[in-house]
Amino acid sequence: MTTGNKTENALPRRSMRRLREKENRGNTILKAAEELFARKGYQQTSIEEIADMAEVSTGTVYIYFKNKEDILIKLMQGIGYLLRKTLGDEFNKKELSLDSLKNVAFVFLGDFCLRYPEKIAIFFRESVGQSAEVEEQRKRLFLKLTSDIEDAVKQIGMKLGKDFLRKQSPELIAVCIVGVYERIACHYLLWHDRAKNVKAITNEAVLFISGGVNNLFKSRS
């Protein structure tokens, strides 16, 4: 005899299973789009190709996403979250110091970029020059990333007991760091295949950045 409780308990399980299946299908579509956008380019990839690689119908893609631009924006949001989390985890590993900026450089250029080449291609290449909505998404992600690093720089200054030349100095440092990392990723990993030189390149970038940071601390009188 089936009791009311068993029926009530079974329904949530079925609902949970459907939710998991729906989420997995959406992730499969995103994964297929990520690979195609990175390999073929965003403009050259069609919804039909994404559906084919994801092994779903074109109609199913439109159930999950409004259009191809919506897919790109969702990918950018996921990449931005993963990148910020990766750098944040590195900052939180130990007490903040100037070495933290060096370690973050190696994590981003020597680890994240090499581990996720498709994500880097989408974030720094395929999302450029698209619609105003995509550009606004890029701007928000870069501003969040810059703000994360600015906060870390301020905390490093406090830990060292040093004042910056100007109130805006930590922001300038963060903007420069993000800009340097982006250009290195584009130039050496996307435009030229020089991944084997990443360690040496990162070392030099760290020296360059560290010198700039030190010059923006007030000297002791």
Instruction: List, in order, residues 6 or more apart from 2 with CB less than 8 Å away.
Output: none
How far is C-alpha 105 from the geometric centre of its chain's CA atoms? 14
Domain with CATH 1.10.357.10 in the chain: 69-221
pLDDT in tens, 90-131: 999 888 888 888 899 999 998 999 999 999 999 999 999 999
The CATH class given to the 1-65 domain equals mainly alpha
Structure tokens given for 91: 């900052």
Element (H, E) at 133: helix 132-160
Give me the pLDDT at residue 214, please. 87
Cα separation, 190 vs 109, in Å, equals 12
H helices then E strands: how many in the chain? 10, 0
- Note the pTM of the prediction, 2 decimals: 0.84
The most confident of the ranges 43-57, 150-164, 199-213 is 43-57
Domain with CATH 1.10.10.60 in the chain: 1-65
Helix, strand or coil for residue 165?
Answer: coil
Exposed / middle / buried, residue 82 (Cβ in 10 Å: 0-12, 13-18, 19+): middle
Task: Assign domain 69-221 to its CATH architecture.
Answer: Orthogonal Bundle (1.10)
Q: Point out which residues pair with 164 in neighbouring strands.
A: 217
Mean pLDDT of 10-37: 80
Q: Which amino acid is at 118?
A: E
Give me the pLDDT at residue 177, please. 93
More confident residue, 13 or 65: 65
More confident residue, 86 or 18: 86
